[in-house]
Chain A
Amino acid sequence: DAGVTQSPTHLIKTRGQHVTLRCSPISGHKSVSWYQQVLGQGPQFIFQYYEKEERGRGNFPDRFSARQFPNYSSELNVNALLLGDSALYLCASSPGQGIYGYTFGSGTRLTVV
């Protein structure tokens, strides 16, 4: 079985641009969460989606948005990129609501210049 796959693995964007990050959960997993990991810190929660509905949102500005598709894959969108958005963005999936833990992908490394 494939694990959680994220694309792209790396990308470089310019300040003010828009970016879309993609995540495919493990087959059968209905919950997807997104985390931002700034260098040297632990991941910070951005969103959780379960059964295509937003179930949780972290303390991030409205420039961050996400959605989950009928096949349970997910996109994270960030508008008007700032230098501070440079980070590793992690996607994680779980069969249910995650109380048994999430399986993480290897992340997308976003650099904003």
Chain B
Amino acid sequence: AQTVTQSQPEMSVQEAETVTLSCTYDTSENNYYLFWYKQPPSRQMILVIRQEAYKQQNATENRFSVNFQKAAKSFSLKISDSQLGDTAMYFCAFMKLGAGNQFYFGTGTSLTVIP
């Protein structure tokens, strides 16, 4: 079974500062994908960034980057130059190929950006 653990239920960061959200996962699979989604109060899950497990290079999307450590099964999200609009719930998700390509989500980290 796949499990995803987010050990930080809540975090806060000053506007314009950098924050890192942690995520670890457990799997016996070798080929999989990892995602970070944000869920603002509007409830819609929004894709932040995606990483293929077979790629060693860490994914980046503008102010968002990941630190993917496959051997350690760690997938942290770094948000640089934090903005007020980054305030949201952040979910780490694991996708194993096959059987519906389902996401396994962590329990989320509530991030608050302080003006």
Contacts and interface: CB of A to CB of B under 8 A. Distances in A.
A56 B99 CA distance: 5
A105 B43 CA distance: 8
Contacts, number: 66
Given A33-B100, A33-B102, A58-B102, A101 B107 contact: no
A99 B95 contact: yes
Nearest to A49: B100
B27 interface: no
Interface stretch (A13-21, A37-45, A68-76, A77-85): A37-45
A57 interface: yes
B75 interface: no
B99 A43 contact: no
B101 A48 contact: yes
A106 B100 contact: no
- Of all A-B residue pairs in the complex, the 9 with the closest CB atoms, nearest first, are A56-B100, A42-B105, A48-B100, A104-B45, A45-B102, A106-B44, A101-B47, A98-B101, A56-B99
A84 B93 CA distance: 24
Contacts of A106: 42-44
28 contacts: A40-B107, A41-B108, A42-B91, A42-B105, A42-B108, A43-B45, A43-B91, A44-B105, A45-B100, A45-B102, A45-B104, A48-B100, A48-B102, A56-B99, A56-B100, A57-B100, A88-B43, A90-B45, A98-B95, A99-B33, A99-B97, A101-B50, A102-B47, A104-B37, A104-B44, A104-B46, A107-B43, A107-B44
B103 interface: yes
Interface in B30-63: 33, 35, 37, 42-47, 50
